[in-house]
A and B are shown apart, each in its own frame.
Chain A
Amino acid sequence: MRRTTGLAAVSAAALLITGCGGGGPQSSADSKLTDDKIVLGVLNDQSGVYSELSGRNSVKAVEMAIADFKAKHGASVITDNISVESADHQNKPDIANNRAAELYDRRSADVIFDVPTSSAALKVADVAKAKQKLYFNITGATTELTGKACNKYTFHYAYDTYMLANGTGRTVTEQGAKNWYIVYPDYAFGQDMERSFSAAVQQAGGTIVGKDPTPFPNDNFSTFLLKAPTLDPKPDVLGTMQAGADLVNLVKQYNEFKLREKGVGLSVGLMFLTDIHSLTPAALAGTTYTDAWYWNFDQRNREFADRFQQVTGTRPTFAHAANYSAALQYLEAVQAVGTDDADQVVAHLEGKTIDDVFLRNGKIRAEDHRVIHDAYLAEVKPAAEVTEEWDYVKILKTIPAEQAFASPSADCTM
């Protein structure tokens, strides 16, 4: 008994000593920033399938946002000490979970950006909620982030499965392609996309004449491509929910089986600029899809894309632009409220309307933290019309922010 008391006394003393001695430099009296600095965390796939559509270049986009933010505010900037910490989550939910906790706790990140792969994105939302730190998801597609899994500290930027399905499924059907044949990879993302697309097509007066789940990953889609033109009634369009290498396989084989010549068009659920680049625009000419942002849409986007190219050597995907925008808007919010206190920043952001290089007619909805903005129906140009590398699509239609996203879900309670 005496022994334990003695031990407790010693450890209490040790705590006191480290508490006083190890506390580091005292905060200046007027700073409301933790550790006198702002740390932006970027958690994404840095070597796998999503590393080129986002990855390290998104870290550079966030660095660009910091530089632009400092340049704009000059001497009145809240702090000069703003840094980026990044980590690779390899698209695995368990690794994402650990890396997110590490970013918030040990690497003092005030906020985490990006996080592709829906399952990983949802894990990080839980971490953000538990740690009460901010989280802007950019590349996760699931609507659950603003549905069942929504929370006070999580914001969903850029896009989601509803936006993709609604943009492409509804618009293409309204333009006359009534009969759809949908193929989707048989895992959470694909199933979610199929449900969203089928609903959007049917609401617009179209019919799903067939739908097939495919193995994931898969390198041979020939069975489904043979089947497509034999369906009754014949589909006007093949809707593919495949992504990454699966999408490349499907498109190559779609061309091989000459489905476009057989009267079956192609619509892609989710496609990034990097996908078009690797397939070549010739292989995709005439394909429609919904884009959250396009680098050559107007002069303002193009100026950003030029600067991005100077830094990275390549043109930005919408994921890069969205990471830039989210970092910039976070920093502006901290500047406005004068502190990096998460609750105060959240209060400032909720309901805010924003117009920046990425967000057109942007608004951060207070109800579910969905960041809504204009989206675009895009079509890949025929090879003959491509005059500049990376300028592969034309925008057919701007989908206004209010129509582009679903209304707040009843499942979301903050």
Chain B
Amino acid sequence: MSGFLQHTFNGLVGGAFYALLALGLAVIFGMLRVVNFAHGAFYMLGAFGAYVLLTEVGVPFWGALVIVPAALGLLGMALERAFIHRLTRLDPLYNFLFTFGLTLILQDLVRSRYGVQSSPYTTPAGLQGSVDFGLFTFPTYRVFVLGFAILACLGVWWLLTHTRIGMVVRAATERPELTRAFGIDVGRWVTPVFGFGIALAGAAGVLAAPMRAVNPLMGADLIIVVFAVVVIGGLGSIFGSVAAGFGIGLIQAWGEAYLSETAPILAQTLVFIVMAVVLLWRPAGLFGREEAPA
């Protein structure tokens, strides 16, 4: 029983990363109708940001958790203004290509400066121990990561449901043309929302630095699963992305724990099997809606 609880808790921690990244993708897609292929690269930049701040400036983890997402958010806003904005009116393929190309450029820039070997980053001093939950103990840092992700998701939910900005974003996500017809300047909110999505990816990257290998390709491997999460949750569905993020984390952890020895292939492909089944059953994802005809 304690084993099962432990694996469940662990799955939620893994899911926390998926949820933070999928949430960013969902708000960006909702507002801009852009699938941001560069999301994994921004996650990687988040981790490298933490590493550079620590080794070259001496800013510890906590400082990085504030500075890096803010800086990446601004970078995201600049990129939206300079490039993505100009491409949204064209075929969606142009933004696919742009964000994909951006990923390659960012990866290679980091690679040329820091190499391919992973850069060291240690767990912040205050979070190195373990928390005793009675039935099992768990590394404090992982408990913190889970808490952070849940707070971030709740924070976004509150913003969306209790503020005027949130209302505009929700309305623009559901029916952009109709929202404009009511005289609301949707365009004004596009850039900050894009920056916010990127900032979430940056925060996930900072959180990953102490527990994962910090290298230029760290985002490229992760983002494949995150796209599966977004598809399962329903593209553009904010609640769906979070629920699917944690759900996939759980499914992955249970699969690895109980299927690795008997059916390793199944354990490793479980996420994509779930995705295929969901798509067959509900092509728009669990919480997504069929796009209204334009």
Contacts and interface: CB of A to CB of B under 8 A. Distances in A.
Interface of A: 47-49, 51-52, 186, 210-215, 217-220, 222-224, 226-227, 230, 245-246, 248-249, 252-253, 256-258, 274-275, 277-280, 283
B147 interface: no
A307 B6 CA distance: 52
Contacts of B206: none
A215 B211 contact: no
Given A220-B212, A223-B7, A224-B260, 19 more contacts: A47-B111, A49-B116, A51-B116, A52-B115, A212-B256, A213-B264, A213-B268, A222-B10, A223-B253, A224-B256, A226-B3, A226-B10, A227-B257, A245-B118, A245-B217, A249-B213, A256-B139, A256-B142, A258-B130
B222 to A, nearest CB: 6
A278 B120 contact: yes
A213 B116 contact: no
B123 A256 contact: yes
B229 interface: no
B75 to A, nearest CB: 24
Nearest to A52: B117
Nearest to A222: B10
B6 A226 contact: yes
A48 B212 CA distance: 19
A250 to B, nearest CB: 9
Contacts of A222: 10, 13-14, 142, 253
Contacts of A275: 117
A253 B252 CA distance: 17
A213 B141 CA distance: 26
Given A49-B116, A256-B123, A223 B10 contact: yes
Interface string B190-223: 0000000000000000001011110101100110
A186 B264 CA distance: 9
B239 to A, nearest CB: 24
The CB with the most chain A CB atoms within 10 A, among B13, B130, B213, B215, is that of: B213
Contacts, number: 92
Size class of B's contact patch? 35 or more
Nearest to A51: B116
Contact of A283 (B117, B120, B221): B120
B248 to A, nearest CB: 12
B130 A252 contact: no
Interface string B8-32: 0010011000000000000000000
Shortest 6 CB-CB contacts between residues of A and residues of B: A248-B213, A223-B256, A248-B118, A278-B117, A245-B213, A213-B264
B261 interface: yes
26 contacts: A51-B116, A52-B116, A52-B117, A210-B261, A211-B261, A212-B261, A212-B264, A219-B208, A219-B218, A223-B260, A226-B6, A226-B7, A245-B213, A245-B217, A248-B213, A248-B215, A249-B212, A252-B210, A253-B211, A256-B123, A257-B139, A258-B139, A277-B117, A278-B118, A278-B120, A279-B120
Nearest to B256: A223
Interface string B90-110: 000000000000000000000
B268 A186 contact: yes
Contacts of B179: none
Nearest to B264: A213
Contacts of B253: 222-223
A346 to B, nearest CB: 35
Interface in B259-280: 260-261, 264, 268
B116 A219 contact: no
A212 B213 contact: no
Contacts of B211: 252-253, 256
Tell me which of B116, B141, B257, B264 has the highest count of chain A C-beta atoms within 10 A of its own C-beta: B116
Contacts of B222: 219
Nearest to A272: B117
B120 A280 contact: yes
A256 B121 CA distance: 12
Contacts of B213: 219, 245-246, 248-249, 252
Contacts of B212: 219-220, 249, 252
Contacts of B118: 245, 248, 278-279
B221 A219 contact: yes
Nearest to A278: B117
Nearest to B269: A215
Contacts of A218: 221
Contacts of A51: 115-116
Nearest to B213: A248
Contacts of B210: 252
Interface string B105-147: 0000001000111111011000000100000000101100000
A99 B114 CA distance: 27
Interface in B143-184: none
Interface in B212-261: 212-213, 215, 217-218, 221-222, 252-253, 256-257, 260-261
B288 to A, nearest CB: 26
